[in-house]
Amino acid sequence: MNLPNWLTVSRISSVPLLVWILATDQISSTHGQKELLASAVVAFAAITDRLDGYLARKRGQVTPMGMLLDPLADKLLIVSALIALMQFNPQLVGAWVVIVVIGRELLVTELRMVGAAEGFTIQARDLGKWKMAVQVVAVIAAILDRRWAVVRFEWARFPLSLNIELIARITIWAMVVLSVVSAADYFVIFWKRIDQAHQRQRPSVRAVQPRPAAALTAIRSKERLPLR
C-alpha cells in the first residue's frame, strides 16, 4: 500500500477518535481542551484529504483502492462528526441538517453504483470539492462554538473579535445549500450519461426502401423464364 493510501486510511482512523473525543467525559472542557483537540483532529483529516490526492496524482499512484477509500473517508468523517455534533452542540446542528447531508451522500453513492453497473463513471465535481471545504469549516466552527461563541483579541493594539457562532451558522446553511445543489448536479450528469449509454446500446434499424414498380416487373419477368 502506497503513501497516499496510508494517508487515506489515517483519515478513516481519525473518525472513531473524533467521535470519542466529542462524546467522552474524560477530557475536560474547562479551558476548551476538548474543543481544541477535536478541531485539531478535523483539521488533520482535512489536510490529509488534500495531500493524498495531490501525492497520488504527482507520483502516478492512483489506484482502484484509493479511488474507493478516498470518497468513503470523506463521507465517514463529515457524517460521523455531524451526528456527534447533534449531541455536542444541538443548538447549531439540528437533525434536519444531518438528514439533508446523509441523504445527499446516499443519493450520490447510489448514482455512482448504477453508473458503474451501466459501464460509465461519474467523476468528482468541483462543486462537491467546495462542499467538502465548507463542511470542514462548519464542523470546526460548530465544535469551537460550544466553548467560544465570540473570540476577542488584540492586533496592533486594536481590539478585534471573531464571531465563531456566526461563522458556524453561515457555513452550516452554505453546507446544506451546496449539498442540495451538488446532488441535483450529480443527478443531471447521471441522467445525461445513462441516456447516452442506452442510445449506444440500442441497435440501429435500417429502413427498407420500397422497390419501384418497374424493378418489380423486371424481377417477375425473370422468374417466369424457362430453365435451359
DSSP structure string for 130-164: HHHHHHHHHHHHHHHHTT-SEEEEEETTEEEEEEH
Q: Cα dihedral sign for 201, 114, 100, 162?
A: negative
Q: Domain ranges in the chain?
A: 3-202
Q: Report, as ranges of residue numbers, the positions in the chain whose pLDDT lies below 50.
A: 204-208, 225, 227-228
Residue with cell 507520483: 59
Q: Which tens digit of pLDDT belongs to each residue from 68-87?
A: 888 889 999 999 999 999 99
Q: Which tens digit of pLDDT belongs to each residue from 24-65?
A: 999 988 888 999 999 999 999 999 988 988 888 888 888 888
The domain 3-202 having CATH identifier 1.20.120.1760: the answer here is yes
Supply the pTM of this predicted model.
0.81
